[in-house]
Amino acid sequence: MKNETVAIIGMGMMGSSLGKAIKSRALPYRVLGLGRNSKHLNQAMVLGACDAVTVDLNAGVQEADIVVLCAPVDIIPKMAEQILPSLKKTAIVTDIGSVKSPIVEAVKKVSGESMDFCFIGGHPLCGSEKTGAENLQEDLYKGATVILTPLESTSKESVGKLKNFWQRVGAKVLVMESAVHDILVAQTSHLPHVLSACLVQLVARLQKQDERVKDLLAGSFKDMTRISASDPDQWTEIVKGNEKFVLGALKSYRDLIHHLIQEVEKSSHSQPLWKSHFEKAHSARSELLP
């Protein structure tokens, strides 16, 4: 049986990690690495993340059975529009964008309401603050959850095929509507990045008042702010794309903080309040992350 072809457009850390996972598991796919920068593509190939590379996106997708768009949220619809004329009728196009509804709607516009090709939104819930093929992680997708957001018109066969692909690289797959995805990840993924950025800025202001602050940055601060080392441009696009639900998440978080402040300020004996606060969090985290 002939191996199917997977074309990965964008051989950065995420794309190269996917290619490497396919190759290291000896899965029945030929991996093509596509992108604009031949130097980056060649680096991915040297690292064993693909079988061949090309900077010609349209030529590269002609024989592809699965096309994975590994690009910033605002670029993905443009990529889909560019490659659309060159796709096989049976090809499945997916992406790794952290926001789904804006991408799905934009792809609908560039392809026409008929959607005469198969696009299934995808979001692997994994990653790193580091970028570039040199930072690929062979097991990045192992045990990670990948969300798929098919359209109502998408066939069960296509969803099953893409689900099987992600499971083969070690991921767990959930299927849901794109709007539901955006509501949920606003709180579980996007909000933590916004809060981390706020905490870094808060402590940076304090450091300007007292230089000794730098010597006090231990594990808790580092753990909570690691994600602030992520690409600012990337997270600007992600949060902008899901701004409505991110703002809702921020308001919910604000309400929790405001309630805590009010309870402590009006209490003559705050120790039970603090104990309850931390006990609830301890118990909840054990349930959320057993």
Encoded tokens for 259? 């309630």
Distance between CA atoms of residues 145 and 101, nearest Å: 18
pTM attached to this predicted model: 0.91
pLDDT confidence bin for 263, thresholds 50/70/90: very high
Phi-psi region of 132 (alpha: psi -120 to 50; beta: other; left: phi over 0): left
Q: What share of the chain is helix, strand, coil (3-state, %, to 5)?
A: 55, 15, 30
pLDDT tens, position by position, 55-99 = 999 999 999 999 999 999 999 999 999 999 999 999 999 999 999
pLDDT of residue 167: 98
pLDDT tens, position by position, 209-248 = 999 999 999 999 999 999 999 999 999 999 999 999 999 9
Amino acid occupying residue 270: S
Residue 40: Cβ within 10 Å count:
21
Query: Has residue 169 got a pLDDT over 70?
Result: yes
Residues of the chain with CATH 3.40.50.720: 4-176
CATH class of residue range 4-176: alpha beta
Q: Could you tell me whether strands 118-124 and 145-149 are parallel, antiparallel, or unpaired per DSSP bridges? A: antiparallel
Considering the four listed CATH numbers 3.40.50.880, 3.20.20.100, 1.10.3660.10, 3.90.480.20, the one that applies to the domain covering 181-260 is 1.10.3660.10
Residues of the chain with CATH 1.10.3660.10: 181-260
pLDDT of residue 114: 54
Phi, psi torsion values for 31, nearest 5 degrees: -105, 120
DSSP lists the bridge partners of residue 145 as 172
Average pLDDT, the chain: 95
Encoded tokens for 105? 């709607």
